[in-house]
Each structure stands twice: as structure tokens, then as C-alpha cells.
A = this chain, B = another copy of it.
Amino acid sequence: MATAADSELHVAAATGLRQVDQRYTAGRRVLVEVLDTASRPLSIPEILKQRRPRLPQSSVYRNLGVLEQAGVVRRVVSTDEFTRYELAEDLTSHHHHLVCSRCGNVEDFTPPPELERSVERARTSMGAGVGFNADTHRLDFIGTCRDCA
């Protein structure tokens, strides 16, 4: 939230966009700021409601797609029908999610480093024999959030 950190964030976003020949426009900067402020992945309805007047729906959908291509944001799936987005781990830090199976809400969660090592060991030792090239992992805990308990 410091000015320096914000600046870094925007430089990283601009760099990512430039690599796919895209401009870092005002609307895209707003999206990055909204996602940076949240401590969890946001659904698109949540993003639309965040600002008054509302962000234009088609631009939000289009720009999140562009930002995803640029590696600036990441799409997160939950248990409900809404697509959620968060800043990519290059711009934040590696973490996992607590997914509520009742309401679909998603919170960030950082597991113990020992667990990370186990998972990464399994990923890298997974031979090409399975016909699948694993780039990364997705480890979420599914349960009931505070509000739904």
C-alpha cells in the first residue's frame, strides 16, 4: 500500500502488457488497483460494484482477459458460477485458497513451506509418461467459511 510498492506494481503490470503489445490504459490500471486492494479473488459482479459510477461491464470482461494474457492477473475458479480474478503471483506472492462450498467465497491462505515442498516434489517428479506437462499446482481447502458456519 506504500507509494513505492504501488509504483512497482504498476511498472510490473505495464511491462507485462507491453510484452503482449498492449497498452496500460486507465481502465486497466483501475482493475489492477481494485485487485491489489482486495485480500481475496474478486468475482466480476464484485468488481463492477466496487466503483461508482460502475465500471463498464464489457471493458471489465475484455480487460481482465487481456490482463490474464499478459500474466498480470489470474483466473480463479470456485464452487459457484462466477469467475474470479486476483493479481498474478509474480506481482504478489505464492498462496492458496480457502473455498467455501456453500457461498463460493474465496479467501487467500498461505500453507506451511513443508507442504509446498511436498507438492512441488510431486509435480516435478511426475514423468512425461502421463502425457501431461504440469506447470504449476492448485491446492485449495474446501469447507465452510465464517459467514456460512
Copies of this protein chain in the complex: 2
Q: A61 at interface (Cβ–Cβ under 8 A)? A: no
Give the residue of B119, B141, B142, B145 whose beta carbon is less than 8 angstroms from that of A115.
B119
Q: How large is the interface on A (under 10, 10 to 19, 20 to 34, 35 or more residues)?
A: 35 or more
**CB atoms of A132 and B118 under 8 A apart:** no
Name the residue on B nearest A98 (C-beta): B132
**CB atoms of B130 and A135 under 8 A apart:** no
**CB atoms of B133 and A143 under 8 A apart:** yes
**CB atoms of B133 and A149 under 8 A apart:** yes
Chain A residues engaging chain B, CB cutoff 8 angstroms: 75, 77-79, 81, 83, 98-101, 107, 109, 111-112, 114-115, 118-119, 121-123, 126, 130-146, 149
